[in-house]
Each structure stands twice: as structure tokens, then as C-alpha cells.
A and B are shown apart, each in its own frame.
Chain A
Amino acid sequence: MKLKYLKLTATLSLIALALAASPTRAAVIGVQVMASDGLYFTAAGPGQYWRWESGGYCGGLGPWCRPATYRWTYDNNTTYGSVNSAVWRVPTVQQVFSRAYAFIPRRNATCRTAFYTISYAGVSGYEQPLDQLVYYDQWAGLFSGKSFYLASQVRLVDGQFGWNTSTLEKIAFDEIKIES
């Protein structure tokens, strides 16, 4: 009986100490990875401009997901805005704040101003460019660390009106990750 009591109080102590511990871990509600050309990916634009390559996150570093290829295209002359684009839809829109990351593959990702837009809060959109050139087979943070409520999709376009980028630059449409 007394031993049981001791065990109970010791357990309570451990729980209390755990509760008081420093918050360097968070309750991550969900991690959703949307693959390039996967179930939640929709591409738009002339088919002749699209290219595919093996590799990227699902093609090597994240072997659990498919397909093992990713889509890319040349950056568009920005006089007319974008020609090719893609949307990654978030499978389960969470009623919480989420952050978005893009996987930047080692090949075909040299665009200095890859314009990503996230849709959130039911209807709003937030757009910022990412420099794909400086990242190599790794996750890059989108939107300067901002988190978004009800994040529902991420869109990437191959050019932006008024941006003088080179048409020799390549823009990769690899995996997008949403962490809630």
C-alpha cells in the first residue's frame, strides 16, 4: 500500500517536472508534404515548356513519397507575367497557424526570384519570391517565417510581371511542406 503511494507521488513529481520543462518542443499538429505531380498538385501552362527530372525530395531524400521525379521549367520572360504555374493543395486545411517550406533540389533550381503565393484565412493570398539558386537539396522557408491561418494552397509561377529575370534561369516545382 505504502509502496504504491510512493510510486504515485514519484510519478506525480515526474509529471510536474516535465510540465515545468523548457518549451523547446512544440505540439506539432500535422506535417503535410505535397509532392510535385502528386495527388494534390495541379500544373497549368503549355505542356511543351514542362520538363521532368529524377531527384528532389521524393526522388531520393524522402523515399517514402512519390513520384520520384519533379517538374521544372525555364523562367519566363516577365514582360507578360507567368506562363507556366502550379498549385499544391493542402490535403487537410487546419484551423491553426501553419508555416510553409519548399524543397529546393540540386538541379534545375537557379531562379533568383521564384514567386510563391500562399492562400490562407479562407480567401487571402500572400506572395514573396524565393532565391532558389542558393539552396541545394534542402528545405527553404517560404514567406520570411510568417505563419498562416487556414493555409489551403501554395502556388508557384514561372515569372512575374515587371521582374527582369533571365529566361535562362530554371525554376523547380518540387515538394511543398506545411507544418502546423
Chain B
Amino acid sequence: MRYQKALVVSGAAVFIIAASALAVAAQSNQPMAATKTKAKQLNERLDQAIKEELDKGCVQKDEAGGRRPCGDSKARIDGLHDEAARADDDQKARPEALRGSAVANIKKFRGRDDLAVTYQATSANPYRDDGAVIETYVDNDAYEYWIDPSNDRLVQMGPAARADQAPHKVRPEDRLPVSGLRDQAVRLIETADPGFAARRSSLHPLEDNKGKQVYFFRWDDFSAPVKESEMPPFIQVGLYADGRLASYTDTLNK
């Protein structure tokens, strides 16, 4: 009898916890549901605009033989597309208040408190196929950063694709010896990834360069099998021959 009572009381307690959790989840999902509805409506508006502009709007042939909107038709589609893209991202993104530590980590990595870092979007992590996402940020020097929102760590950094890129080569007098570049790369990694020093001996090292302009220092982790659709984890620093940072990737930490 006493056992049965205890069972009923336990059952009631579990039910209350479950109901509370469901209520919290439902409450927190309310804005999400509204965001989803808004995104769906904007997609429908975009679909409609595309159809209308293709039927009656300004459309011209492009160099690849396809059709491109022009004039007001293009402006209308692009405007609606950007609006729908923002609404789509609102569904995937974590709240802005939670992104502060990601921005702080980027500034710390670059060693620059004055860096203006702007959130761009949340998208699938191309190095993984388990649904993991990355947040993309850009700074005022036009570098792009990928942050893993589950731990706020930097996954990748490199120049953002952009239209005002100025090609330049390293001058001979500015070149550093490879040993100096290697030391710099290791220092950078050890600062960004405190666990690297302990793991380094188990990783496969690789050094290479592209046209003696950018030098790459890479360590691959081949110790465990990976999914066929994923690359073996690695950490890599790309440095220009004068020591400036060109790119950085760290997929070791999941």
C-alpha cells in the first residue's frame, strides 16, 4: 500500500515536471512559431514576385544563356529575397545576447579589442554532417569568422569573399624565415587552443606553401575513423611570407 502511494506521488511529481517543461518549451517556442510563420509568408511573397516578374517584368538573357531580371524587376526580387533571407536566419540564429562571447573570442583571437565584428548568418557547418551549425561574422578589415555556437570556438577565419579585394605580393625584404613563421603559427594555435600542446604529438604534421606567398602549417588527426562524408579533423594556420595571418581553421574541437 505504502509502495503504491509512493508510486502515485512519484508519478504526479514526474507529471508536474513534464508539464512545466512542456509549458516552458511551448512558451519559448511561441516567438519561434511566429518567426516561422513570418518566414513562410515572406517565402510565398518571394515565390509570387518571381513568377510575376518572369511573366511580365523586365527579363534579359545572361551570358550563360539563362534569364536574369533587370531594372525594377531585379530590385523587387532582390529586396524581397533579402527580407526573406533575414527571416529565414531568424529561425536558425541564437539570440543576440548569447553571441557576445563569440564576438569576444574573435577579438581575443585577433588580439584587437577595437575590431568591429558583425554577425552575418547561421548556416550548416561544412565540415560536419550531424546538423551542427556555424555562425558567420565579419570584421571591419573584411575578414570572415566561423564560430561554433555550441562552444563559441573559432572554426575558421579567412578573407571574406568580396568585390574590393586588392591583390598584393609580399616584398622580398619583408619575408620571414620559415622557422619564424612556424614558431608564430604554433604560438597562435596554442593561444587559441590551449589543449593543442598536449595533443600535438598524436597529430600528423604537414607544412607546405603556395607560390612561397602563403605558408601553411597543418596538423591532421587521423587517430579515429571519420564518417565518409566528413574530413578528418585538422588545425591549420596560413601565414603570408611576411608573417601576416592569412587564414586559420580548427575542426579538432567538436
A interface list, Cβ under 8 A from B: 2-3, 5-6, 9-10, 12-13, 15-17, 19-20, 22-28, 31, 61-64, 87, 95-97, 99, 101, 106, 109-110, 112-113, 116, 119-125, 128-131, 133-150, 155, 164-166, 177, 179-180
Known contacts A26-B131, A124-B81, A179 near B11 by CB under 8 Å: no
Q: Mask for B204-230, Cβ within 8 A of A = 1, else 0? A: 000010110110101000000000110
Q: Which among B53, B64, B88 has the greatest number of chain A C-beta atoms within 10 A?
A: B64
Report how far A28 CA is from B131 CA in the complex, Å.
6
Residue numbers in A under 8 Å from B18 (CB-CB): 9-10, 12-13, 16
Closest to A165 in B: B167
Contact B120 A145 (CB under 8 A): yes
Contact B124 A144 (CB under 8 A): no
Report how far A3 CA is from B10 CA in the complex, Å.
10
Report how far A25 CA is from B92 CA in the complex, Å.
9
Residue numbers in B under 8 Å from A22 (CB-CB): 94, 98, 149-150
Residue numbers in A under 8 Å from B77 (CB-CB): 121, 123-124
Nearest-CB distance from B50 to chain A (Å)?
A: 4
B193 within 8 A of A: no
B interface list, Cβ under 8 A from A: 4, 7-8, 10-11, 14-15, 17-18, 21-22, 24-25, 28-29, 43, 46-47, 50, 53-54, 59, 62, 64, 66-69, 74, 77-78, 81, 84-85, 88-89, 92, 94, 98, 120-124, 126-127, 129-133, 136, 138, 144, 146, 148-150, 156, 158-163, 165, 167, 208, 210-211, 213-214, 216, 218, 228-229, 231-232, 236, 238, 246-247, 249
Contact B133 A24 (CB under 8 A): yes
Known contacts A31-B124, A97-B85, A129 near B165 by CB under 8 Å: yes
Residue numbers in B under 8 Å from A61 (CB-CB): 231-232
Nearest-CB distance from A139 to chain B (Å)?
A: 4
Cross-interface CB contact of B213 among A20, A97, A133, A137, cutoff 8 Å:
A133
Known contacts A140-B158, A141-B136, A128 near B25 by CB under 8 Å: no
Cross-interface CB contact of A134 among B89, B124, B133, B246, cutoff 8 Å:
B246
Report how far A180 CA is from B88 CA in the complex, Å.
11
Nearest-CB distance from A34 to chain B (Å)?
A: 14
Cross-interface CB contact of B11 among A5, A24, A112, A130, cutoff 8 Å:
A5
Contact A25 B130 (CB under 8 A): yes
Nearest-CB distance from B101 to chain A (Å)?
A: 13
